[in-house]
Amino acid sequence: MTIQVIIAGFKGKMGQAAYKMVVEDPNLELVGLLDPFTEETELAGVPVFKHKEDLAQLSADVWVDFTTPKVAYENTRFALENGFAPVVGTTGFTSEEITELTALSAEKGLGGLIAPNFAIGAILLMQFATQAAKYFPNVEIIELHHDQKKDAPSGTAIKTAELMSQVRTSQSQGLADEEELIEGARGADFDGMRIHSVRLPGLVAHQEVIFGSQGEGLTLRHDSYDRTSFMTGVNLAIKEVVKRDQLVYGLEHLL
């Protein structure tokens, strides 16, 4: 049986990669596309919509979302309310929004996924970092992305910090009376762990987690060199969420 898929944000960098992946998979059927700024009404026989409300009439199983942090919450809510299992890669959700959407999915009996990173290597990096944080509580994150990224720090960096904080002894790092000579020099503060965001043309998505201890250091690094790195995870998620009855946060919960 084929799984019917909608893609929101199909003209974006991730949306284009998702479009290609879905049309090339014989087990998936693309049934609708959403882009509020387009003039097209169809693409290779697939209807294109400007307003998400018009997608409610479609018969579809899964809503893939690679849009912008501003609209992703409303889109995910809309998907759940209309019986589409969301597979959301858009970043920028607050933990309250994730809790709320998880509860809504359970109420509707629909599976779903919000994943700050669909690359398998990035999932492993988060798991290794969580293991290490137990023994190395002094840690900083450097995330590096292309310069068109709208949110900072990245969803992956926040999720990595959240996971580490569950096992790490909470502490602030650096001197208590350290002084920033330029505001922001020490990065964002998550439970004492510092997160630094680099934005440069040419980059895709990269992250380093650097641990320091007496006389030793440990550096973990993951690189997504191009957007195909995320598509194995998106494909897997589409096929898994239709079997589930509650939304989860993080691809590791579907592996």
> Given the rule CB under 6 A, which residues bind ligand NAP?
8-9, 11-15, 34-37, 66-69, 71, 89-91, 115-118, 149, 205, 230
Is 145 labeled as catalytic in the residue annotation?
yes
Cβ at position 239, least distance to ligand NAP in Å? 17
Nearer to ligand NAP, 116 or 137 (CB): 116
Is 51 labeled as catalytic in the residue annotation?
no
Nearer to ligand NAP, 23 or 167 (CB): 23
Cβ at position 169, least distance to ligand NAP in Å? 30
> How far is 235 from 154, CA to CA, in rounded Å?
22
Between the CA atoms of 92, 95, 98 and 100, what dihedral angle is there, to the nearest 10 degrees?
-130
**Residue showing the smallest CB distance to ligand NAP in the complex:** 12
Strand order in the sheet with 46-49: 42-43, 46-49, 28-34, 3-8, 62-65, 85-88, 112-114, 247-249
Task: Tokens for 151, please give them.
Answer: 């949110």
The 10 Å CB-count burial string (b at 16+, else e) for 74-100 is: ebbebbbebebbbbbbbbbbeeeebee
Given the residues 52, 108, 145, 222, select the one marked as catalytic. 145
Given the residues 51, 108, 134, 149, select the one marked as catalytic. 149
Cβ at position 209, least distance to ligand NAP in Å? 17
- What amino acid positions are annotated as catalytic residues? 145, 149
